[in-house]
Amino acid sequence: MSIKIGILLPRSDMFPTLALDFLNGFRMGVSDWGNNANTPELLVESIGNACGDSVLKTAEKMILQENVDLTVSFCSIHNLKDLASIFSAYKKNLIHLDLGGNVLTQEHVNPYVLHHTLNLWQSAYKSGEYAAKNFGKSAAIAASFYDGGYHLVESFVRGFIANGGSVAFSYVAPFDYKTETYQALIDGIQNNKPDFVFSLFTYKEEQKVLGILSEKIEDKSLPVICSPLIGLNTETIKEYALENVVSISSWDFTPEEPEMHNFIQAFEKKYNASPNVISLLGFETGLTVLNSVDEEGNLPPELGTYSEDIKIRSPRRELSFNSFHESQTTGYFVSHYDFTKQPYKRTALQQIDLNGEESLYDQFKDLPLSGWQNPYIIT
C-alpha cells in the first residue's frame, strides 16, 4: 500500500514556473521508490500566495477528505503556528517549505512538523561575518521595498556588527522599481565611500541595480554582495563591468561534489532543462521523504521528532535537521560572478563550515515577524 502525499504549492508572479519546478524536483527525489506498490500517490493543490486562511483550509481538507499520510506545503510565517497546530491535533505529519527568509522560533517547533528551507537568513548572517573579515568594516546596505521586508537585512547587519562592522549608509528602494533611477543609492555610495555594498534585490530589480552600479560607480572593483537568488530565473543576465560581485548561500550548482553533478545531469536528461533552487528544494524534500519511510513504506508517527536522526547526502552535501527541525547543511559557499561571459558564470571561491549556527535562534528569538504576509519570493 502506497502512502498518500498532499502537496500545496503557491503561485509566484516573479517566478511563474515555481510550482512545476518544485514538483519536477520532488518527483526525482522520490524516484528511487521505482514502480513498485509503495510508490507514493501525490495530490497537488494550488494555495495562491501561501498565506491566510486558504492555506489552513486546504491543509485540513487534505487530512479530512483525502486522508493523506503527509502534507508538503509552503506557508506564511504568520500562519505557520496555526498550520502546525492543525497537524498536531490530527497527529498527521507536515513538511513546511520555505526558502528561509524568516527565523523560526520555539513556537514553530512541533513533533509532527519538519521545516525544509534553503537557509537564506543564516546565509545572510554569514555574509555579514564574511564581509567584515574580508572586505572592511564600513558597509552600504541597499534593499528593495519587497526583499527588505523579511529577516535577511537584520541577519546580515547582526553578523556584520558582531564582527566589528558598522553601517555607513542604507537605502530602501521604492515599490515601483521600474521608474526608479537609484540616484540616491549612487550618491550615498559616492559620498560615504563604504568598503562594500550589500545589495538585497531579486529577479529583474537586481539586474537593474547591478546595471546602474556598473554604469555609475567609478571603482569597478568595489565589492558587491548580492542575493544568491539573482540566478533563480533562467533569463540571461546582461554583461556588467563590476569585477567583485559575490554571494553566499548553502548551495552551488558548479561544485565538484558528485551529488550535485549527478542531480544536474539527471534533471537535464529527464526534463530537458537546467534545475534551479526551487527544483533543488523539491528534490531534497523528496529525498527527505524517501529516507524517512521504513521497509514497509510507512512514515514515522512524528516526523518532526524523527528528523533529528535524518542524515542525507544531497546536492548541498550532507543534509540534516537541527533541534528546531529545520534543514541544515555542513556549510556555505562563497561564490563569485563573472558577467563578462554570457550566460554569466558563477564560481565557488571557498566553503565556510557550519559553526554555531543553532545558537543564532536564541539570539533572534525576540525579532518581530516580518511585515509581508507571503513567504519569501511567493508574490
Could you tell me what percent of the chain has a pLDDT over 70? Answer: 96
- Domain membership flag for residue 32: yes
pLDDT at 254 exceeding the cut of 90? no
Closest to 317 in 3D by CA, of 333, 338, 295? 333
Mean pLDDT for 368-374 is: 86
Answer whether the bond into residue 368 is a cis peptide, omega within 30°. Answer: no
Per-residue confidence (pLDDT) for residue 344, from 0 to 100: 79
The answer on 243 and 128 residing in a single domain is yes
The confidence score (pLDDT) of residue 371 equals: 74
Q: Residues 133, 195: one domain?
A: yes
pLDDT number for residue 236? 55
In this model, does residue 235 exceed pLDDT 80?
A: no
8-state DSSP, 218:
S
Q: What is the CATH number of the domain that holds 270?
A: 3.40.50.2300
Pick from 11-15, 214-218, 334-338: least confident: 11-15
Residue 36, pLDDT above cutoff 60: no
Of 249, 269, 286, the residue at which a domain comes to its end is 249
Greater pLDDT, 217 or 342:
217
Look at the chain and report how many structural domains it folds into: 2
Q: pLDDT band for 365, please (50, 70, 90 cuts).
A: very high
**Are 138 and 22 members of one domain?**
no
Same domain, 173 and 321: no
DSSP 47: -
Same domain, 210 and 170: yes
Mean pLDDT, the chain, integer: 92
* Percent of the chain residues past pLDDT 90, beyond the cut: 80
Taking the C-alpha atoms of residue 124 and residue 129, their distance in angstroms, rounded to an integer, is: 9
Same domain (yes/no): 242, 166: yes
Q: Are residues 271 and 302 in the same domain?
A: yes
For the sheet containing 317-321, what is the strand order? 311-314, 317-321, 327-328
Q: Does an H or E element contain 281, and which?
A: helix 277-290
Q: What is the pLDDT of residue 37?
A: 53
Q: Are 61 and 317 in contact (CB under 8 A)?
A: no
Q: Report which residue type is found at 315.
A: P
Cβ proximity of 87 and 22 under 8 Å: no
140 and 224 fall within a common domain: yes
* pLDDT score recorded for residue 196: 98
**pLDDT-wise least confident of 228-242, 337-351, 360-374:** 228-242
Say which residue, 206 or 326, is predicted with more confidence. 326
Query: In whole angstroms, what is the distance from residue 375 CA to residue 354 CA?
Result: 25
Q: Helix, strand, coil proportions of the chain in percent (round to 5)?
A: 35, 20, 40
Which three three-digit cell numbers place residue 374? 507571503
Residue span of the structural domain in which 30 resides: 4-119+256-328
Residue 113 lies in a domain: yes
Q: Look at residue 226 and tell me whether its pLDDT is greater than 90.
A: yes
Q: Tell me the pLDDT tens digit for each residue of 99-111.
A: 999 999 999 999 9
Looking at the fold, whether 59 and 90 belong to one and the same domain comes out as yes
> Which of 41-50, 159-168, 216-225, 247-256 comes out lowest in average pLDDT?
247-256
Given a cut of 80, whether residue 33 has pLDDT beyond it is no
pLDDT exceeds cutoff 80 at 234: no
pLDDT digits (tens, 9 = 90+) for 261-292: 999 999 999 999 999 999 999 999 999 999 99
Write the Ramachandran bin of 80: left for phi over 0, alpha for psi from -120 to 50, otherwise beta.
Answer: alpha
